[in-house]
Structure 1
């Protein structure tokens, strides 16, 4: 972590972190897409037990890292919901391709 003395320095560091977060989220998305291609049933896309497992792991890591659970939990729940929506899209596109083949 860099000690910042000015707002431009703070903003520069936030921008750097945002770029890295985007790269990591894009990587995460590739695994969501693989899941959508692998799952055999649309009903398997949403897995409540897995959602709660992911949130629990994130909250444990957030505590270790010093991230407020008030930020971590709602952020990851939104990320999970948007990931599920994307996975449904991938799943449905896969089914369309199979049906038209």
Structure 2
């Protein structure tokens, strides 16, 4: 098992790849937690039409952009990722809403 090093401490590609793979597993676990909130939202919202909320979507993306820029990351790239994440979350929530009958 390769020790997971911080990015600045990596000296070869095996270490970089091990770190990226480890982070990817953590990100998927975080996404599971995020989608659990989509399950809760689908359970709580009284109508299917309440699932899509464009004002909230814009707020979430703007917050992600601001947080990214505060960390020195490219705001446009993070906003684009969050656009897709929010759309995937909406699709998931709609499906969860439909499953509840």
Q: Secondary structure, in 3 states, of the residue corresponding to 1:10?
A: helix
Please say if 1:72 is aligned against 2:78.
Answer: yes
Aligned pairs for 1:11-90 within 5 A: 11-90=17-96
Gaps of 5+ in 1: 96-101
Alpha-carbon distance in 2 for matches of 1:70, 1:6: 29
1:5 is paired with a residue whose SS is coil
Report the TM-score, using the length of structure 2 for normalisation.
0.89
Runs (4 or more) in structure 1 with deviation over 6 Å come to none
- Work out the number of aligned pairs and report it: 95
Give the root-mean-square deviation of aligned CA atoms. 0.9
Unaligned runs of 5+ in 2: 1-5
Structure with greater contact order relative to length (CA < 8 Å, sep ≥ 6): 1
> Larger % of helix: which?
1
TM-score normalised over the length of structure 1: 0.89
